[in-house]
Amino acid sequence: MIPGVRDLTGTSLGRYEVKEKLGAGGMAVVYRAVQSSLGREVALKVLAPALTEDDEFLRRFENEARALASLDHPNILAIIDFDTIDGTTFLTMPLARGGSFEDVVEKGPMDPGTAWIRFLRPVADALGHAHAAGIVHRDVKPANVLVHADGRPLLADFGLARRGAGATPLTLAGTTIRTPGSRPPSSGLAKPPTA
């Protein structure tokens, strides 16, 4: 759990009944919830409260919602909603029931042809779609490719995205971009990101 973040399991966040914690990253906790108005399961990405006190970081989190909402592609995890309720800021997304590509990889080797057809080509298409819209993901790694119940990969976590040339990234000033193990050597160069 992120320091200072209380567990929301068993509580309600507006029209969402929070059921269980699915995971946590550096800036947010993800929960499985039920949207009571429709009775559907969703994922809530709840921003750490300490970060919502930083206006610049909150603006960057809102940028993630806008970046995702502007993309319409079958291999990009969609945004259903973005809101702040009682001081808790969150994104609502479809629940990806198949885990992540990281989970798939950890189960053992995959035939290269199968990996290309089922995962790599669709994710490359999703990245191409995002790039065409001027959005650079900047943190592509197996853990950020979720798996839909139908087996379709979904590119997720645009928290480090940059929109267009000269746009402000979502990372805080002075922080490292990307998960260290997934950073390409070129990320250390003083050039705009391209992936």
Catalytic choice (81, 139, 150, 157): 139
Give yes or no: 7 in active site.
Answer: no
| CA separation for the pair 133, 27 (Å, rounded) | 25
Asked if residues 137 and 169 have their Cβ atoms less than 8 Å apart, the reply is: no
Tokens, residue 60: 């960057």
For residue 170, the tally of other CB atoms under 10 A from its CB is 24
Q: Which residues of 173-193 are buried (b: 16+ CB within 10 A; e: fewer)?
A: eeeeebbeeeeeeeeeeeeeb
Tokens, residue 82: 């973005």
Give the 3-state DSSP-derived string for 61-91, with helices as H, strands as E and coil as C: HHHHHHHHHCCCCCCECCCCEEEEECCEEEE
Q: Mind telling me the catalytic residues?
A: 139
